Amino acid sequence: MYGKFNPCFLQRIFEEAELTSASYIVDMGSGVGDVVVQASLYAGCSAFGIELHPDLMKLAEGLLSHIQQLGQLSSIPIGGMEIIQRNMLTDATAKYHIEHADLIVCNNQCLDAQGKKSATVKNFDPCQEGCDYSISEDTFYFLSPKWRAWVADLFSTKKQVFQSGDVSWSNNGKDYYWQVKK
């Protein structure tokens, strides 16, 4: 299933993270690239995305190309944008980008090699101190008690509520979590 964060929600995330042109954002499971593009347009910051699905990746490449062309034709400052097609749970490139991120956006549940559900949050241990991290309710609640304890030790967590229109998959106040690495 593919879902989107709507622009009004992303703007609130970017404001909460206090993005500037010097910020670096990582979008785990970037889909068609809208988070990467909107962060680059919003703050002029650099943004990196990783997406597994080839059809979504093809759309993302087209979107990034179009936005870069628009940036060349206008005076709109656009930050660097890159999306790669890889597995965010196993790719060393993803770990490198996580280590340098000021903001990580993740709205994914994943299956491990055995087909068991595996939350992506365990991959964020290397992120820098003070890194902001937004995670959806489904992923957070999917963590075993052991992983929730690990998250509590690693991140300060604030429960938030999606407002009507924030996301494409729900209009009724589901929770998400805003986390800052301690």
Residue 170's domain is classified under what CATH number? 3.40.50.150
- For residue 125, being part of any structural domain is answered with yes
* 166-181: pLDDT as tens digits: 776 666 666 777 767 6
- For residue 150, being part of any structural domain is answered with yes
Q: For all residues of the chain together, what is the average pLDDT?
A: 76
Greater pLDDT, 10 or 181: 10
pLDDT tier at 44, thresholds 50, 70, 90: very high
Q: What's the average model confidence in pLDDT over 21-49?
A: 92
- For residue 2, being part of any structural domain is answered with no
Nearest to residue 167, comparing CAs of 26, 31, 19?
A: 31
- For residue 1, being part of any structural domain is answered with no
Q: What is the amino acid identity at position 102?
A: D
How many domains, in total, are found in the chain? 1
- For residue 110, being part of any structural domain is answered with yes
- For residue 143, being part of any structural domain is answered with yes
Domain that residue 152 falls in: 7-16+23-181
- For residue 87, being part of any structural domain is answered with yes
pTM of this structure: 0.75
- For residue 101, being part of any structural domain is answered with yes
